Structure 1
Amino acid sequence: MCGIVGVFGRSPVSSVIYESLSMLQHRGQDAAGIATCFEDRFYLEKGNGLLTDVFEAGNMARLLGDMGIGHVRYPTAGCASVAEAQPFYVNSPYGIIFAHNGNLTNVSEIVESLFLTDMRHLNTSSDSEVMLNVFAHALSRRGAVRPNEFDVFAAVEEVHRRCKGGYAVIAMVAGVGMVAFRDLHGIRPLVFGKRGEGKEAEFMIASESVALQVSGFDLDHDLAPGEVIFIDTEGTVFQHQSLQAHEKAPCLFEFVYLARPDSVLDGASVYQCRINMGTKLAEKIQREWSHLPIDVVIPIPSTSRVAAQEIATRLNIPYRDALVRNRYVGRTFIMPGQAQRKQSIRRKLNPIPQAFQGKNVLLVDDSIVRGTTIREIIAMVREQGAKKVYVCSAAPPVRFPNVYGIDMPARSELIASGRDVQQLAKNIGADELIFQDLDDLKQAITDACPSLTHFDTSVFDGVYVTGDITEEYLNTLEQKRNDAAKHTEDVASHITRNLSAHL
């Protein structure tokens, strides 16, 4: 997952983009970048690290222009080098700046055709650069000196034909305007907002609605699967709906973990969805686990807090925030490597001893992916004197790789892969382990937004909505993106940075 923002304004937009990206920092902590456009020239600043690491007064002052896009990166394809920080740029045709959230599933096929047929050069291993070149080539084939909305829409239609997977994209074309589009299934989120009226209207496109709110933009709508929005240099908004689009199937994991609780995605309040997840879990506990002598409900902060509060309320059991989070340690789920994730857990969370001593504790987590975090937390809780440690997850077991932009591609790293619930409980050290049922999880979202009835649930059931994922593809992906491969990439990036520093 990554966070993307695009702003078409009537005054300098760099600070607006920065503030909006700060609301999306949870979606990526590896790299950040902002590009702006002034008098048909692009100004780009990007680098590794958090927003506060990459941007300061000096380089922000260089970002001139009333139109711009921003990106916070978390690597799912390619490595974590600064060369792969976004936005990306190509100078032909016209000059295009490009920011992408998601993952393409047919990259190798596209790369071959880009080289042999389109004769375009790729400078990184990022699928985002691949997609940028597909769009650039499609736009150049139109042959227009100054492309109009029909040229832009035709180019995006070609992107949809050639690119498979989950993606949300924002791009700028020099002298032409801003373009945004969403994949044909609507897997990755993208929202459109507006501030002001008439000729003074300003527009923002972003991964989540919270990015709009911080700068006073009102949410207009979520882009539909295959929808394109084009804003020309005068601020006129054009919309197009692809006939190739399928039924909307947003990623279910967005509602469980990825999105902020104060966001609204595809018409559903994430906060309400998580309340509903807690309700469903409480009902399951009452139905199947009423014999458990639970003394206290404790969330594993912070994504699970809303569901945990609802469980405690429904079961009439005390709720305690007894695991204190260090806000200066990043989300361990998106850290690139098992060793780094494990090392960060005890720095990230600190227990309040009296909440655990002599208690039968119900720990509530949003999901269990690799198992590293929950295993360490259970060990901590037992060290504090807990009698019994029960664990419940707001999501079902994550048993299958994600291929649409979330970094869980290696089955060997998914703790639930090949294990039943009893084996999982023993592996993590829990006395009992309770998972949300998949149908209940889907219903929790539908209850918050009745029009949402179809989802990408591939990490839970192995059903990939794009229909192009084979066992061979998953095996190849595992070899490329397991922790051992990431470690090799990290070492290579470290060596490259050190060599560059000494040249």
Structure 2
Amino acid sequence: MSEQIKHECGIALIRLLKPLSYYQKKYGTALYGLNKLYLLMEKQHNRGQDGAGIATIKLDVQPGKRYISRHRAMGANAVAEIFEYVQNKFAEVQKNTPELLQDTEWLKENISFTGEVLMGHLRYGTHGKNSIESCHPFLRQNNWMTRNLVISGNFNMTNVDELLEQLFELGQHPKERTDTVTVLEKIGHFLDTENQELFDKYKADGFSNEAISHQIAEHLDVASILRRSAKTWDGGYTISGILGHGDAFVMRDPAGIRPAFYYHDDEIVIVTSERPAIQTAFNVPLESVKEIKPGHALIVKKNGRVTEEQFREPEVQKSCSFERIYFSRGSDASVYRERKQLGRLLCPQILGAIDNDLKNTVFSFIPNTAEVAFYGMVEGIHKYVKQYQRDTLLNRADRISDKELEEVLNIAPRVEKIAIKDVKLRTFITQDADRGEMVAHVYDTTYGLIKRGTDNLVVLDDSIVRGTTLKQSILKILDRLGPKKVIVVSSAPQIRYPDCYGIDMSRMGEFVAFEAAISLLRETGKEAVIEEVYQNCLESQKLGNKQVKNYVQQIYNQFTDQQISDRIAKIITPKEIQTEVQVIYQTLDNLHKAIPDHLGDWYFSGNYPTPGGNKVVNKAFMNWMEGKNQRAY
């Protein structure tokens, strides 16, 4: 993507099902779990570069001994910093008494982070503060082991105010108005309730207080706690949690918006946000890694029992398609295939835009995440060439000359690397004029490949959000090559609506498609539509969540996709360039053909998978109308 946007966080959860001595004996290290956690987090580094954190819990620790460890760090190198911090604890032992590194009982009793339950989190901050306090995991601590709670997640809730009000009604006083705090406290409340109910039950049965603690740890109904906690949540979420005595869970929202993959055998249970992380770190085949079903939680009891239990009624699955287009690593086999198919399906539109003139067209892409879709597009062009050659040679009535035959057989797409990402500019440039000049040089180009005034240049991007980098940098640089026409192709459809489930796209004015639709309304004398939509959005605030519709769709319904694409081309074309610019977007139909199992497309279609989504999009439009540059949830 030419414009980086921040997005979903990443999670990793490991439960070692054997004693630490087992891993010491089999794998030669008591740090097996920590080593694997590091690998899982590094293999998902693309999911968070604002910060990271880990937490571990030791099982069956004697009273008075610390059993929960946590460390968090900020910045792009947070994962390395965290594990260097942890490694230093063992380095001292290695230096002075190396034989103790083989003594798993001593390590567990004396060195932190030597636990059997391990959690990791990678953070991309979509909004608000970016501080160490914002980094997961979060702790809710208590002297009762079974009331301790550690959570981390990849989630955004659309109804935070409603959830906070529920906490107030319960008598709580949350310290912050954030979805993380509301989730932590909501689960924590019902964890406390479950503990108290079990305590009262076993107390009535005559158990001693010490015996009751063991009974609670054994009989806590994690699924029931999650059912009661998540009853009114509206959002996209994958949330991992560990209870102080060792029960662990990972829960996934009812529409399956956020991803969650898992693997388990008799030694270990692993859950991550991306499948290839598990495949690489544990060398397991693709078919052995499963997805947690929407509305279900994978639960690992302290005794090692693994179940997948429903906590909310599953809805029509609307897994995030942006995961497949851009966010998830292309090393996932299905993601790779889907991205190639996105490129292939664009070929008819591209060939139409260049009048099938392959001789005078150069194909390229904007690094780096569009590369796989580009391979698919090139394969599609090759398929067209083969069909053209076949039809030309088979359907000729007369004998073809050697020269004509050579020309037909030599037809092939001209594939070149034109755009090169050169440097990440530093933010010490403060004046707008200077910053604009610097941004123009973020990308460089390869000279001498384009025939001036003759060649078309097709450049593939995986999505176009704001269009600013295209306008300020890429198109200016490509214009220097002198192409007759530049065709910017997006492997994703037009991004028209805000996301409220994890991606940093929450303000209407940031979308070039919205800017295009508004300018067309004003130009064609349909400004009344803007005010009508605004009034509908205002009125919708009086309605319950389930009654609210997405009124912003009316803005786009006035025009065809092609009209909006043509206006986007005008908007992103710098005034000073000579080259004609055309923009081609993926169609929604082709998106669903390429990615049939991930139908979440609300940022393209406006069809939100939860009631809160409609409320958010209307609020985002109201904010735009009122000049408020703030998130809508």
**3-state SS of 1:290 partner:** coil
| TM-fit CA distance, 1:385 | 4.0
Q: Identify which range, 403-412 or 140-149, moves more after superposition.
A: 140-149
Q: Aligned equivalents of 1:380 and 1:483: distance in 2? A: 34
The equivalent residue for 1:215 is 281
Amino acid at match of 1:88: F
| TM-fit CA distance, 1:22 | 1.1
The equivalent residue for 2:150 is 97
Encode CA deviations 1:440-461: one digit per residue, 9 max, x unaligned: 1011012xxxxx2x62211001
Q: Aligned equivalents of 2:254 and 2:362: distance in 1? A: 45
The equivalent residue for 1:162 is 232
Encode CA deviations 1:298-339: one digit per residue, 9 max, x unaligned: 11112111111221232241222333346x959x9xxxxx99
Pairing partner for 2:179 from 127, 130, 138: 127
Q: Aligned equivalents of 2:335 and 2:116: distance in 1? A: 31
The equivalent residue for 1:282 is 347
Q: Aligned equivalents of 2:268 and 2:586: distance in 1? A: 42
| TM-fit CA distance, 1:75 | 1.5
**3-state SS of 1:306 partner:** helix
Q: Aligned equivalents of 2:450 and 2:80: distance in 1? A: 38
The equivalent residue for 1:227 is 296
Bigger Rg over Cα = 2
Q: Aligned equivalents of 1:24 and 1:399: distance in 2? A: 28
Pairwise CA RMSD = 3.0
Pairing partner for 1:369 from 451, 461, 465: 465
**3-state SS of 2:70 partner:** strand
| TM-fit CA distance, 1:369 | 0.7
Q: Aligned equivalents of 2:616 and 2:293: distance in 1? A: 31
**Closer/same/farther in 2, CA of residues 441 and 463 from structure 1, 3 Å limit:** same
| TM-fit CA distance, 1:72 | 0.9
| TM-fit CA distance, 1:469 | 3.1
Q: Aligned equivalents of 1:485 and 1:459: distance in 2? A: 18
Q: Identify which range, 166-175 or 421-430, moves more after superposition.
A: 421-430
Encode CA deviations 1:167-207: one digit per residue, 9 max, x unaligned: 0011111113211110010000000113xx43xx2111000
**3-state SS of 1:111 partner:** helix
| TM-fit CA distance, 1:435 | 0.5
Q: Retained in 2: the 8 A contact 1:160–1:183?
A: no
Give yes or no for the alignment of 1:249 onto 2:318. yes
Pairing partner for 1:455 from 596, 599, 613: 599
Give me the TM-score of the superposition, normalised by structure 2: 0.68
| TM-fit CA distance, 1:286 | 3.4
| TM-fit CA distance, 1:105 | 0.7
Give yes or no for the alignment of 1:2 onto 2:2. no
Pairing partner for 2:448 from 329, 351, 354: 354
Q: Identify which range, 392-401 or 42-51, moves more after superposition.
A: 42-51
Q: Aligned equivalents of 1:31 and 1:385: distance in 2? A: 43
| TM-fit CA distance, 1:95 | 1.3
The equivalent residue for 1:475 is 619
| TM-fit CA distance, 1:79 | 2.1
Q: Retained in 1: the 8 A contact 2:231–2:312?
A: no
Give yes or no for the alignment of 1:425 onto 2:569. yes
Encode CA deviations 1:245-287: one digit per residue, 9 max, x unaligned: 11221011111111111125xxxx0000011101110133335
Q: Aligned equivalents of 2:47 and 2:378: distance in 1? A: 29
Amino acid at match of 1:21: M
**Closer/same/farther in 2, CA of residues 383 and 91 from structure 1, 3 Å limit:** same
The equivalent residue for 2:34 is 14
| TM-fit CA distance, 1:347 | 7.1
The equivalent residue for 2:366 is 300
**Structure 2: runs of 5+ lacking an equivalent:** 1-7, 21-30, 62-66, 90-111, 199-212, 383-412, 517-563, 574-579
Amino acid at match of 1:238: T
Encode CA deviations 1:99-123: one digit per residue, 9 max, x unaligned: 110210110111122133151533x
Number of aligned pairs?
Answer: 463
**Closer/same/farther in 2, CA of residues 369 and 472 from structure 1, 3 Å limit:** closer
Q: Percent identity?
A: 26
**Closer/same/farther in 2, CA of residues 59 and 281 from structure 1, 3 Å limit:** same
Amino acid at match of 1:321: K
Q: Aligned equivalents of 1:160 and 1:105: distance in 2? A: 13
Q: Identify which range, 467-476 or 74-83, moves more after superposition.
A: 467-476
**Closer/same/farther in 2, CA of residues 322 and 228 from structure 1, 3 Å limit:** same
Encode CA deviations 1:1-30: one digit per residue, 9 max, x unaligned: 101111112443222212111111111211
**Structure (1/2) with the larger strand percentage:** 1
Q: Aligned equivalents of 1:439 and 1:147: distance in 2? A: 51
Pairing partner for 1:392 from 484, 489, 505: 489
| TM-fit CA distance, 1:381 | 1.6
The equivalent residue for 1:172 is 242
Q: Retained in 1: the 8 A contact 2:261–2:292?
A: yes
Q: Aligned equivalents of 1:329 and 1:138: distance in 2? A: 47
Amino acid at match of 1:102: F
Amino acid at match of 2:508: R
**3-state SS of 2:569 partner:** helix
Q: Identify which range, 386-395 or 349-358, moves more after superposition.
A: 349-358
**Closer/same/farther in 2, CA of residues 89 and 479 from structure 1, 3 Å limit:** farther
**3-state SS of 2:610 partner:** coil
The equivalent residue for 1:76 is 126
Q: Aligned equivalents of 2:43 and 2:437: distance in 1? A: 26
**3-state SS of 2:307 partner:** strand
Q: Identify which range, 423-432 or 51-60, moves more after superposition.
A: 51-60
Q: Aligned equivalents of 2:622 and 2:154: distance in 1? A: 20
Amino acid at match of 2:320: C
Q: Aligned equivalents of 1:20 and 1:283: distance in 2? A: 40
**Structure (1/2) with the larger helix percentage:** 2
The equivalent residue for 1:383 is 480
Pairing partner for 1:87 from 134, 137, 149: 137
**Closer/same/farther in 2, CA of residues 288 and 377 from structure 1, 3 Å limit:** closer
Q: Aligned equivalents of 1:410 and 1:475: distance in 2? A: 10
Amino acid at match of 1:465: P
Q: Aligned equivalents of 1:162 and 1:153: distance in 2? A: 16
Give me the TM-score of the superposition, normalised by structure 1: 0.84
Q: Aligned equivalents of 2:352 and 2:481: distance in 1? A: 30
Give yes or no for the alignment of 1:114 onto 2:167. yes
Q: Retained in 2: the 8 A contact 1:360–1:388?
A: yes
Q: Retained in 2: the 8 A contact 1:403–1:409?
A: yes
**3-state SS of 1:244 partner:** coil
**3-state SS of 1:469 partner:** helix
**Closer/same/farther in 2, CA of residues 249 and 148 from structure 1, 3 Å limit:** farther
